[in-house]
Structures are given as structure tokens and as C-alpha cells.
Structure 1
């Protein structure tokens, strides 16, 4: 009978040890999941920093384009007329639908989402733009998807992109010219 009690006692100790081992394994797996989650969260926050930088660059582009318009309109070195107000003459706008394209990259995981407004040279251009809208969308999609993140992440890169789009669109217009384009939304993911 003493042997029977001894065997039961050893069996209970074995069950406790395996229970403790299982608890340790579960805690280890949970710790590993938390670590991986932290790394993923850190990487995701890094993308938000890049978006914030892109937003900051977008603001700089808008400010640069406004100062360039002031210079072109002959407002002088101060950029303000006598009344102290900043005058920027912007032509009629022709909005295009949003664009979402994959950027040129090795991994193919970067994409650009943007909205573009075309500044027309005159009202007579509007019917031609409406008629050729699918052609212009195709041209813009091809241009945007041929760019890498590095090419469009700087202010200078965005300006080159704008110039390239304006030049390509103007090659296909008869009734007037596109003066400028404006990115009303520009997000790189």
C-alpha cells in the first residue's frame, strides 16, 4: 500500500511539472507575440513619419508655387501690391478624378494616391479637356507609375513631375495650354 501511495504522489508531481512547463511555454509564446507586435507597430509608425514628411513637402511645394506665381504676375520683389494683400491670379481649374498607382520599386509595395487639378489657360480649353480626359488620365498614370519614391519625395522631384505632366498634356492640346497642375492630395504608402 505504501508503494501505491508513492506511485500516486510521483504521478501528481509529474503532472505539476508538465503543467508548469506548459505555463512557461505559453508565457514565452505570448512574450514573443508582444515583441513581434511591437516591431510591427514601430515599422508602421515609421511609415507615418514618411507620410508626415511627404505632407510637409506638399506644403512646401504649395508655398513655392504661390511665390513663383507672384513673381510671374509682376508683383515686384516683395510679392505684395500696395494694399499689402498677396495677389495670386489662378486660372480656371479642371479637376481630375483621383489617381492610385504603384510606384516603380523592386518590391512593388509602394503606391501613390493623389488628386490633380489642371489650371487652364482659358475657358475655351474646358471642352477639349473634357473630351480628352481619358487620354490625359492615361498619360498621367503612365508618368506617375514610372516614378520611384526617391524621385517624388523631394520638393524638387515634385516640381519636375509637375513640369513633365504639363509638357505631356500640352503636346496633345489644340485650343489652349495647361498653365500648371496642382496636387490637391498626395500620399505615398
Structure 2
């Protein structure tokens, strides 16, 4: 009588082990696929000047190391929309190349904040809900910040304005 119970227990263990192995393989394959899809190396740099930003080649790249300058606080503003007004909060970091540009960006943070607020104040809530609207706002922000830094430092200094947090209610 003990033998059938043992067989049933052994079958349950082997089925459970099989399920665990299949789950690990599926999750591992999915994770690897997501990694290669999301983080695939794209060595091409688009320097087309469609939004008025200065070409990347004009940024001083003394060491070529990407450094990130965080804004001291997130930007919060109301964005008007067709149906209703929405509250938006955006956390921003600036990507610069080299320690010299990092210091230049830090020195002009108040001016950069003012420029970003001016750009954000023109945003429409209906556009910010879409990915295309967020991308357009980011490219406008990059172009304006680079223009202001070029006027102040005779160099664009900032390579990219990055949205590290984006909440819309």
C-alpha cells in the first residue's frame, strides 16, 4: 500500500520539477529577448538638425565621458487640455560630456530651470499623454537649453535633456 502513494508523490515531484524548469527557461528566454530588444547597441548618431539644436559635433567633448547633472527638484506645472487641465511632474537630468561641461551646466542651473519652465509652460496635456508628445517636449527642451547654454558659454554644453521621471494626473 505504501508503494502507490510513493509513486504518486514521486510523480508530483517530477511534474513540479518539470514545471519549474520550463518556467525558468521561459523567463530566462523572455528576459534575454527583452534585453537584446531594448538595449541593442545602436552606433548610429542622428545629427540632423530638425529642431534647431546644434549638432552634437559642436559640443566640447574633452574626455568623451557622459556625465549627468540632475536638476535640484522636479518640475511641477499645470498643462491645459481640451477636456481638462492636468497636473504634470517631470524629473530632469542633463547629459553632458566631460567634467568641464558638467561644471558649466551646474553653474547655470537657475538659467536652465527657467528655460525648461518656459518650454514646459507651452505644453498641452493632450499631447503629453502620447509618447510622441513626450518625445517632442524632450527635443524642444534639449534645443532650448542648448541654445541658452550656447549664448552663455559659447558652447552648447548639454548634449541631451533626459526625463527621468514623468507623471501626469
State whether structure 2 residue 107 is matched by structure 1 residue 131. yes
Separation (CA, whole Å) in 2 of partners of 1:156 and 1:106? 18
**TM-score using structure 2 length:** 0.56
State whether structure 2 residue 161 is matched by structure 1 residue 181. yes
Match of 1:92 in 2: 67
* Change over 3 Å in CA distance of 1:112–1:183 after alignment to 2: same
Shift of 1:118: 0.7
Separation (CA, whole Å) in 2 of partners of 1:159 and 1:71? 20
State whether structure 2 residue 154 is matched by structure 1 residue 168. no
Contact 1:122 1:176 in 2 (8 A): no
Match of 2:88 in 1: 112
Contiguous gaps of at least 5 residues in structure 2: 1-36, 46-63
Give the number of equivalent residue pairs.
110
Match of 1:72 in 2: 44
Separation (CA, whole Å) in 2 of partners of 1:136 and 1:117? 11
- Two-structure CA RMSD over aligned residues (Å): 2.6
Contact 2:96 2:157 in 1 (8 A): yes
Match of 1:154 in 2: 130
Higher percent of residues as strand: 2
Separation (CA, whole Å) in 2 of partners of 1:145 and 1:178? 21
Shift of 1:70: 2.1
Match of 1:122 in 2: 98
Contiguous gaps of at least 5 residues in structure 1: 1-62, 74-88
Higher percent of residues as helix: 1
Shift of 1:143: 1.1
Shift of 1:159: 1.4
Separation (CA, whole Å) in 1 of partners of 2:83 and 2:133? 21
* Change over 3 Å in CA distance of 1:151–1:131 after alignment to 2: same
Runs of 4+ in 1 over 3 A off after TM superposition: 105-109
* Change over 3 Å in CA distance of 1:159–1:106 after alignment to 2: closer
SS in 2 for 1:172: helix
Separation (CA, whole Å) in 1 of partners of 2:65 and 2:126? 30
